[in-house]
Amino acid sequence: MSKILIYNDGNTGESEIFQLLIEQKYSVNYTNNLPETEKLLETQDFSIIFLDLDTDDNALYLIKKLKKIKANTNIVVLSKKSNVSNAVECMKAGAIDYIVQPFSADKILDLIDNFFNIVPQQLDNNIEKEKVEDYLDYKIIGANIKLQKILKKVQIVANTKVSVLVTGESGTGKELIARAIHNLSDRRDKPFITFNCAALPANLIESELFGYEKGAFTGAIRTQIGKFEAANDGTLFIDEIGDMDLAVQAKLLRVLETREITRLGTTKSLKINTRFIFATNKELLELVQKNQFREDLYYRINVVKFELPPLRERRDDIPELFKYYFKLFCKEYNKKITYIAPDVLKTISLYYWPGNIRQFRNVIENLVVLNETGKIKFEDLPEEIIKDHKSDIYENRLEFKGYQPSLPVSNNLTDSGDTRLSTLAEIEKNAILNTLKSVNYNRTKAAQILNVSLRTIQRKIKEYGLEIDELKNNN
């Protein structure tokens, strides 16, 4: 089934066209956030994009911006306030239609049907490409052991109804895992709806999730279906679940238990058949202990948990990731780059990557887009990476991560001073031990020097059996 993307420039609620297409069982992605729209267009193919706008003042800008990402994008402008000259310019810029709201449902459905019938071969190609690219993308690049274990479990749980919790730092690919689960399931042709709890104030979250009847509250001028209902028979991905208000958490728990929802402004319950996937970059158990997250909800959503590793723990995947994004952006921006300095790959392999894959992707795109010489040199790297490379922290990380495990261990890393070849585990243990010594066994300072989390340091201390108190006394 071909996919449709709706971009709505309103601040609250879904658009009428979104409700219409969901009711007609089209595969629809909805967003009211331009960066998210760009991200979706970069990673997926859509047969038609509807720009659902209050005014057409920004329509021309949006068309050009989206077509810059994908030139063959088919865009329809829906505007509540029309301007003849703007409409003409939009059509010249490549919009396939311009419709003044309010519109008739028949007109929209006829437009979609006619478009699909006019270009069946193009759509067939898009469908095939969509399936191939989805399965390649959602396989996710990397042979890292932790990642591969997660992907095996993804295949196992995909066709179950079990709730899934995906955790990890920002930028590690939590939504990609959610989409992989959806695309590998028998719900793949049904809606995949996303909702970010941190994107809305607490008082709007309930109406967004549950929907509301006309007149339910001031400003409710029409009936509005919520995310729960929009995702019926499909998948609802609730991101940043740790930011959800406690009162809404209680209502979400009831939905998970009963599989029923009630729109605001009515007492009539509706049955839903929705697959739930949750994500967070917070430690939910810590929030439970602080009474900021319901314990019963935690155990309800944490049936299957995937903890995504940060990129700094997947350094073995960086060369392959670099190769993939480098080729992708060279093709996209029609760049011919014939030389990459050896220290470029080494440097990015050892960088901390606080923004993880998202930051990594942006850096590679930047290197390609701004390149004018056909050569990528060390000085072309972003300033923050160059500064990191020149710092003492970089050298500590070089040993800690064992970037060159075939080199002899240097004398300052071993008590014995021998120069035999060491395993990564030995290099790591000695790097931690020597860093701890240098900061008088302060775990927090050691974590900062090694550019890892405090939790990682504590786990490694336990893993390697380092008795800190005993080591302190011996010194």
pLDDT tens per residue across span 223-278: 888 899 999 999 999 999 999 999 999 999 999 999 999 988 888 899 999 999 99
**CA–CA distance, 397 with 387 (Å, rounded to integer):** 14
**CA–CA distance, 191 with 27 (Å, rounded to integer):** 5
Complete domains list, the chain, with CATH: 1-138 (3.40.50.2300), 140-309 (3.40.50.300), 312-390 (1.10.8.60), 406-474 (1.10.10.60)
pLDDT of residue 9: 79
- Identify the H or E element spanning 52: strand 48-55
pLDDT of residue 234: 94
Q: How confident is the model at residue 470 (pLDDT cuts 50, 70, 90)?
A: confident
Which residue from 35, 38, 32 is spatially nearest to 9, judged by alpha carbons?
32
Span 311-325, average pLDDT? 87
pLDDT of residue 409: 29
What sign does the dihedral 67-71-73-79 (CA atoms) show? Answer: positive
Q: How confident is the model at residue 451 (pLDDT cuts 50, 70, 90)?
A: low
pLDDT over 80 at 356, yes or no? yes
pLDDT of residue 69: 87
Please work out, in degrees rounded to the nearest 5, the angle formed at the alpha carbon of residue 359 by the alpha carbons of 353 and 360: 75
**CA–CA distance, 329 with 64 (Å, rounded to integer):** 19
Burial (CB < 10 A; 0-12, 13-18, 19+), residue 372, is exposed
Q: How confident is the model at residue 108 (pLDDT cuts 50, 70, 90)?
A: confident
Which structure tokens are listed for 83? Answer: 């301007």
Q: What is the pTM of this model?
A: 0.57
Q: Are 234 and 274 in contact (CB under 8 A)?
A: yes
pLDDT in tens, 57-77: 788 888 888 888 887 778 888
Residue whose pair of structure tokens reads 């970010």 in the numeric block: 196
What is the dihedral angle through the alpha carbons of 193, 196, 202, 207, rounded to the nearest 10 degrees?
-10
pLDDT over 90 at 164, yes or no? yes
**CA–CA distance, 243 with 293 (Å, rounded to integer):** 9
pLDDT, greater one: 171 or 54: 171
Span 374-395, average pLDDT? 79
Which structure tokens are listed for 31? Answer: 């967003």
Span 325-333, average pLDDT? 90
pLDDT over 60 at 12, yes or no? no
Q: Please write down the HEC assignment for all residues of 357-368.
A: HHHHHHHHHHHH
pLDDT in tens, 188-203: 889 999 999 988 887 7
Stretch among 103-112, 363-372, 460-469 having the lowest mean pLDDT = 103-112
Which residue from 24, 7, 3, 27 is spatially nearest to 15, judged by alpha carbons?
7
Span 390-394, average pLDDT? 58
- Residue type, position 128, single letter: E
Main-chain dihedrals φ then ψ at residue 122, nearest 5 degrees: -60, -40
Q: How far is CA 205 from CA 185, 197, 223, 249, 454, in A?
A: 28, 7, 16, 10, 33
**CA–CA distance, 429 with 427 (Å, rounded to integer):** 6
pLDDT over 50 at 96, yes or no? yes
pLDDT of residue 44: 85
Which structure tokens are listed for 299? Answer: 């155990």
pLDDT, greater one: 293 or 78: 293
Q: How confident is the model at residue 179 (pLDDT cuts 50, 70, 90)?
A: very high
Q: Which residues on neighbouring strands pair with residue 54, listed in sequence order?
A: none
**CA–CA distance, 410 with 364 (Å, rounded to integer):** 33
pLDDT, greater one: 328 or 107: 328
Q: Are 3 and 40 in contact (CB under 8 A)?
A: no
Q: Which residues on neighbouring strands pair with residue 235, listed in sequence order?
A: 192, 275
Span 462-468, average pLDDT? 82
Stretch among 212-221, 233-242, 356-365 having the lowest mean pLDDT = 212-221
**CA–CA distance, 178 with 33 (Å, rounded to integer):** 19
239: left (phi over 0), alpha (psi -120 to 50) or beta: beta
- Identify the H or E element spanning 293: none
Which residue from 218, 273, 206 is spatially nearest to 246, judged by alpha carbons?
206
Please work out, in degrees rounded to the nearest 5, the angle formed at the alpha carbon of residue 383 by the alpha carbons of 378 and 387: 85
Span 158-170, average pLDDT? 92
pLDDT over 50 at 317, yes or no? yes
Q: Are 299 and 146 in contact (CB under 8 A)?
A: no
Which structure tokens are listed for 67? Answer: 């077509």
Main-chain dihedrals φ then ψ at residue 429, nearest 5 degrees: -60, -45
Please work out, in degrees rounded to the nearest 5, the angle formed at the alpha carbon of residue 448 by the alpha carbons of 436 and 413: 40
Strands 260-262 and 269-271: antiparallel
Q: How far is CA 111 from CA 20, 56, 86, in A?
A: 13, 20, 21
